[in-house]
Amino acid sequence: MAADLDVLNLLIIAGGTLAVPILVFVASFLFWPSALIKVYYWYWRRTLGLQVRYADCSGYRFCYSFRGKPGMRPSILMLHGFSAHKDTWLTVVKYLPKHLHIVCVDMPGHEGTSRTNTEDYSIQGQVRKIHQFVEIIRLNRKPFHLVGTSMGGNVAGVYAAWYPAEICSMTLICPDGIRHPCETKFDNHLQDLEHSNYTLNIPLIPTTPEEMEDMFRLCSHVRFKIPQQILQGLVDFREPHNPFYLEVFMEIIGEKSRYALQEHLHLITAPLQVIWGKQDQVVDVSGATVIAEVLPGCRVDLLENCGHSVVMERPCRTAKLILDFIITQQNARGGTKKSS
């Protein structure tokens, strides 16, 4: 009988132990969904072996995550898009070999990187800051592979034009900064915004769960079913930063930045790969043709049934395409050296 009581007590204790994290999870989901999202990113960084570090320069701080060490393959620097953060790349990093040296940085003013009132958030201003980051962590000790998506693609292209000796190859994913001949749903939104003198809501700066869902529909061809609580958590996560996002948005659609990539295409000398979702409603896929006309040697990979959020919709395919391109370019450089 005593043994039975001991077993019963053990089961009660075990049940109570399990109940605590379950209750915490449920409470977080219902009442603090934004906290749950932070825990989610922390968990996946830890699972994938990414470490978060800070790099300081004259009072300015960059936040970045990394995995691996410089080796035979080039290091990879990944630049996210507007209003995103370094964890945007987790879905792609998951499918890249663990021995590769990968660096994902929070773009200027985003997430853990410093945000100042005097900062230049134009594309050119961001390029200067990213170059400062590269120098601080000494990533440019030898040429590296640069990846950028959307706004980050615009920054990456101008970076490659300004600092060609630092880039061995690069991948642009649905890059902004191109005069694409075909209009998109987002272009129509922009025209409406301009006519309203920017008094209408901006689709990329949601303030409610409904607007957040609309943003996902705009950016993704694949329809993700996201619970209302998670949508609310994402809004709570982003809303304190919306005034900053508005500032950056106005900079990157301004005359100085809007077509910065196209204006610098002719200066890019590094081997270039372009990945684009055929159903992109933000930056039309016809931009890939524009790039190929200026740089006919570039490799273009168009993805079926995929929108603007390529890294979220096709992470495995994206990782494979990037890796194949890096290996192909490295083998080509090796072949050139042998023949010479």
Q: Please give the positions annotated as active site.
A: 150, 280, 308
Helix (H) or strand (E) holding 148: strand 144-149
Rounded-to-integer distance, Cα 36 and Cα 73, Å: 36
Q: Which of 246, 270, 254, 252 is nearest to 325 (CA)?
A: 270
Give whole-number Cα distances, 198 to 190, 201, 286, in Å.
Answer: 9, 8, 27
Cross-strand partners of 67: 102
Cross-strand partners of 129: none
By CB neighbour count within 10 A (0-12 exposed, 13-18 middle, 19+ buried), where does 234 fall?
Answer: buried
Helix (H) or strand (E) holding 301: strand 299-303
Rounded-to-integer distance, Cα 228 and Cα 230, Å: 5
What ranges in 142-253 are assigned the alpha helix state H? 151-162, 185-195, 209-219, 228-238, 242-252
Residue with tokens 């040429």: 143
Helix (H) or strand (E) holding 264: helix 260-264
Given a contact cutoff of 8 angstroms between Cβ atoms, the answer to whether 286 and 269 are in contact is no
CB neighbours of residue 260 within 10 Å: 23
Helix (H) or strand (E) holding 47: helix 33-48
Largest interatomic CA distance in the chain: 86
Rounded-to-integer distance, Cα 77 and Cα 335, Å: 25
